[in-house]
A and B are shown apart, each in its own frame.
Chain A
Amino acid sequence: MADAIGQRLERKEDYRFLTGAGQYTDDVNFPNQSYAYFLRSPHAHAVIKSIDHAKASAAPGVVKIFTGADLDGKMGGLPCGWLITDVNGQPMKEPPHPVLAIGKVRFVGDQVALVIADTFAEAREAAELIEIDYDVLPAVVDTGSASASKTAVHDIAPDNVCYVWALGDKAAVDAAFAKAFKVTKLHIENNRLIPNAMETRGANAHYSRADESYTLYVSNQNPHVERLLMTAFVLGLPEHKVRVIAPDVGGGFGSKIYLYGEETALVWASKQVNRPIKWTGDRSEAFLSDAHGRDHVTEAELALDKDGNFLALRVNTTANMGAYLSTFASCIPTILYATLLAGQYKTPAIHCTVKAVFTNTAPVDAYRGAGRPEATYVVERLASAAARDMGLSQEEIRRRNFITTFPYATPVALTYDTGDYVSIMNKANKLADVAGFDARKKASGAKGKLRGLGYASYIEACGLAPSNIAGALGARAGLFEAGEVRVHPTGKVTVFTGSHSHGQGHETTFAQVVSSKLGIPVEDIDIVHGDTGRVPFGMGTYGSRSLAVGGSAIVKAADKIIAKGKKIAAHLLEAADTDIEFTNGEFKVTGTDKKKTFAEVALTAYVPHNYPLDKLEPGLNENAFYDPTNFTYPAGTYITEVEIDSETGEVKVDKFTAVDDFGNIINPMIVEGQVHGGITQGIGQALLENAVYDKESGQLLSATYMDYAMPRADNLPNYVLDTTCTPCTHNPLGVKGCGEAGAIGAPAAIMNAVVDALAAVGVKDMQMPASSHRVWEAMQQAKMPAAAE
């Protein structure tokens, strides 16, 4: 049997998705089920003076209506999982995050009342009868000026500052800037994005009086974390009495990591009304209330010597937290951002200050890449801008600064275990036919179009995370992963993993890993995930960690299976344990043809008639927990060419070349799919997507697909991909993770190309998204005499 690792196997999960047999949360129903509708705030910031739901409660079909006052004192608030310590040594400001708004609403979409009725239509219609007297307050909206606002989102943070945090050696950076030959500066706005998984959030909560237990179906990326946070920190329920099932989940991209108020309210209320309660958010609710991503304003400076060597990097970022701290909000613009500012370069001194601010907008948290796209955007925009300032090519300035020896300790707390950035660059340059760019630029010019070339050489820290390091940095959770390999008597295998698949194809990739380890066909292995009632424990899927951490846990469990199998085989074959070798699914006595198959050993474990019962337990079922010793460091170089219509400002991505080093690859087909998707979200950020709040009223202006431009099939070219491989040195599979890379590398590559193209008409810089309108405006402004200077 060929080794399953490295094969482009078709996915085991696809048949059900392709025949309509997938089971997403909204497809789950229970007898006597009721329906929930959440009445949300129409105001960005207001005092709730009174809520009158007498009329609504008497409306047809209404079961019960709850408001914040009904929940107050009966449960805690939603917790934040990462404590950031301010530069003054104080803990970050952690304002209460109520499950339903209490006293005040703080963003448009904040949930105010839970209406439960026999049908969804009745719940929604009753909600319209609820009378709420609001005293509308001024709203804090703008990221950059929030800390100067006279209005406070929370009383405990009068200046709207959650924390000011810093990393790096400030004195060394100042000294390097003082002797710099050249300083390149950029003002960078990293646009706010709305994740937009195609399946909206939803939940179905069910309480059983028979055994005082709860079952929650929820569209979520980490059901065990969801359960732990909900039971231990909010509802005070016994953890073992709550089962959380995240069945088929229609995309996450970060937005389904978090514990939200909706499902928490549903679990609590299901006991109060003693009926299952179903809620499916609609797309408008998703726009308003899913945790958003990015939203940074940054001043960045790079000091260079006369040869274009990077001397120091100084970064000052303001990050928008939104109205409340979402589950991992605080660590995104700090731990997952500033630590990545070395990029692929040997910049000797780096200092970064981050000010996190509260505003009257939806909470902001991890979105595909989470901090790392923002860091890459800063470093890579600066690198290309510096190249222009120094008269070097984008390629050359990168080559002069690449890290070339490993392990490499950066000045921002990480140690890269391995990599080969020069080889990636060589491959990408060739694949992108950079040599032919000038000719293509000329051809575009002949058509009246501007062509630009953009590079981005990204690095990411994935495989989150060594628990002790994360803990020292403020994490309030461990970041290991758990796995169980259950061998059945017939030698078939069920694997239970704490990782969650919501598009990543774990049912296939993980089966390939186990097939390779145990030497049995992929068809004989099923992967179970997403159910706290079946999987022993789990930390879930985010930060490109599933294979590197979750896969490693499964490898550890499989190793235990093999170790026990050797003892069983040794007994059967009357040999010493140490003389048994296991290859291709067979236990053999070394140097002989005496052997037992995997299935024979499995059967013996469960029918232990001839078995060393005095030394060994029957059965063949092993658990493992894997805690990584370091992050993994995927890296790549992306090269893009854009063509801009100088009449309309329309930016067309003409060529996109991506070369990534993900370490070893289990299923190249799935990896390519992940890269395609990531790149597309990155192009979306660079050219199309933008969450816009009205600066005065705090209304979300981009709250439908008519206003928020999602990448569609006809906005994009076919991408050209390749990989290099330096295996990760510290996990058993040598893998690094591939889920976020595209979204990390693409925005800078695209924007560097846009700026390169627009330089020809005097435009010096451009913020994302480079929509036709913005590009056209910039071109017009550059034509004006004042701008010409």
Chain B
Amino acid sequence: MQLSLTVNGKAVNAEVEPRTLLVDFLRNQRHLTGVHVGCDTAQCGACTITMDGRAVKSCNMLAVQAAGCSVTTIEGLAAEDGTMHPMQAAFKTHHGLQCGFCTPGMVMSALELKGRKLSDDEIRAALDGNMCRCTGYQNIVKSVQAGLTAMK
């Protein structure tokens, strides 16, 4: 099937099998390997991207369902010159990552919280669809707080 969408700000036209998951399209056809697969039940959130500004688990939809949408992956966040987005920078400053595997999904989920003033507990609740096995979440919460402040 023909698929037209916007990926990281660029128009993309591609041929995909109807059964192709969005995550597989992004990883295998667009070579956006920052989008990770950590489970097969839409529980872990490692594949989270934003679609028209909303955080979405890209393993949980077909590529063709993204037709006409604007998809942003972790690769699309930094500035042209490589300067990190404030949310990415906050994760670095506050040691919000260890092995880095869940990190792209965490950052993309956190972006959806833009403009909201949240307590630590509210951030924890908002991230409950993203699993991290390394950090114990404490520094992720700290990073998201700092990232949201920096994005204001």
Contact = CB atoms under 8 A, between A and B. Distances in A.
Contacts of B58: none
Contacts of B130: 713
A138 B124 CA distance: 45
Contacts of A716: 124, 136-138
Nearest to B28: A29
B84 A15 contact: yes
A704 B41 contact: yes
Contact of A714 (B43, B82, B124, B132): B124
**Counting chain B CB atoms within 10 Å of each CB, which of A199, A681, A710 scores highest?**
A199
B98 A198 contact: no
Interface residues of B, number: 53
Contacts of A198: 36, 38, 44, 46, 99, 101-102, 131-134
B101 A250 contact: yes
Nearest to A18: B88
Given A250-B101, A713-B124, A718-B120, A680 B137 contact: yes
A18 B131 contact: no
A11 interface: yes
Given A10-B93, A677-B136, A719-B136, A20 B35 contact: yes
A19 B88 CA distance: 8
B33 A673 contact: no
Interface string B50-78: 00000000000000000000000111011
Nearest to B120: A718
B15 interface: no
A677 B44 contact: no
Contacts of B18: none
Interface in B101-139: 101-104, 107, 120-121, 123-125, 127-128, 130-139
Given A19-B34, A251-B133, A716-B124, A676 B138 contact: yes
Contacts of B120: 718
Contacts of A544: none
A617 to B, nearest CB: 40
Interface string A633-677: 000000000000000000000000000000000000110110011
A528 B92 CA distance: 21
Interface string A235-252: 000000000000011110
Nearest to A252: B99
A17 B100 contact: yes
Contacts of B74: 18-20
Contacts of B123: 713
A670 B34 contact: no
Interface string A277-297: 000101110000000000000
A283 B40 contact: yes
A742 B138 CA distance: 14
A628 interface: no
A210 to B, nearest CB: 27
B128 A251 contact: no
A199 B99 contact: yes
B91 interface: yes
B95 interface: yes
Contacts of B124: 713-714, 716
Interface in B74-90: 74-75, 77-78, 82, 84, 88
A676 B135 contact: yes
Chain A interface category by residue count? 35 or more
A701 B75 CA distance: 37
A10 B139 CA distance: 13
Contacts of B95: 10-11, 669-670, 672-673
Interface stretch (A98-106, A450-458, A501-509): A501-509
A712 interface: yes
A24 interface: yes
A670 B128 CA distance: 24
B40 A713 contact: no
Contacts of A704: 39-41, 43
B73 A20 contact: yes
Contacts of A11: 92, 95
Contacts of B100: 13-14, 16-18, 22, 248, 250, 503
Nearest to B32: A20
A283 B38 contact: yes
B141 interface: yes
Given A283-B39, A676-B138, A705-B41, A18 B101 contact: no
B118 to A, nearest CB: 12
A738 B138 CA distance: 17
Contacts of A26: 33, 37
B140 interface: yes
Interface in A239-285: 248-251, 253, 280, 282-284
A679 B136 contact: yes
A676 B143 CA distance: 14
B135 A250 contact: no
A772 to B, nearest CB: 17
Interface string A1-30: 000000000110111111111111011000
The binding surface of chain A is classed by DSSP as loop
Contact of B97 (A17, A672, A705, A719): A17
Nearest to A253: B133
A10 B136 contact: no
A673 B40 contact: no
Contacts of B97: 14, 17-18
Nearest to A249: B99
Given A283-B38, A713-B123, A714-B125, A17 B103 contact: yes
Contacts of A24: 33, 36, 101
Contacts of A251: 98-99, 101, 133-134
B140 A200 contact: no
A146 B149 CA distance: 57
Contacts of B125: 713-714
Nearest to A681: B133
A154 to B, nearest CB: 32
A785 B44 CA distance: 44
B38 A200 contact: yes
A22 B34 contact: yes
Nearest to B102: A198
Nearest to B139: A673
B63 to A, nearest CB: 14
A51 to B, nearest CB: 26
B38 A504 contact: no
Interface in A154-202: 196-200
A706 interface: yes
Nearest to B39: A283
A677 B78 contact: no
A203 B33 CA distance: 16
Nearest to A250: B101
Contacts of B140: 713
A742 B98 CA distance: 15
**Counting chain A CB atoms within 10 Å of each CB, which of B32, B36, B99, B139 scores highest?**
B99
Contacts of A15: 84, 92
Contact of A18 (B43, B84, B121): B84
A18 B139 contact: no
A21 B76 CA distance: 11
Given A18-B91, A713-B140, A199 B36 contact: yes
B91 A705 contact: no
**Counting chain A CB atoms within 10 Å of each CB, which of B101, B125, B127 scores highest?**
B101
Pairs A-B, 3 closest by C-beta atoms:
A20-B34, A17-B100, A250-B101
9 contacts: A11-B95, A20-B35, A20-B104, A24-B33, A253-B133, A505-B98, A679-B136, A705-B131, A713-B140
Interface of A: 10-11, 13-24, 26-27, 196-200, 248-251, 253, 280, 282-284, 502-505, 669-670, 672-673, 676-681, 704-706, 710-714, 716, 718-719, 742
Given A16-B100, A19-B84, A198-B44, 5 more contacts: A26-B33, A198-B102, A283-B40, A503-B100, A676-B135
Interface of B: 32-41, 43-44, 46, 73-75, 77-78, 82, 84, 88, 91-93, 95, 97-104, 107, 120-121, 123-125, 127-128, 130-141
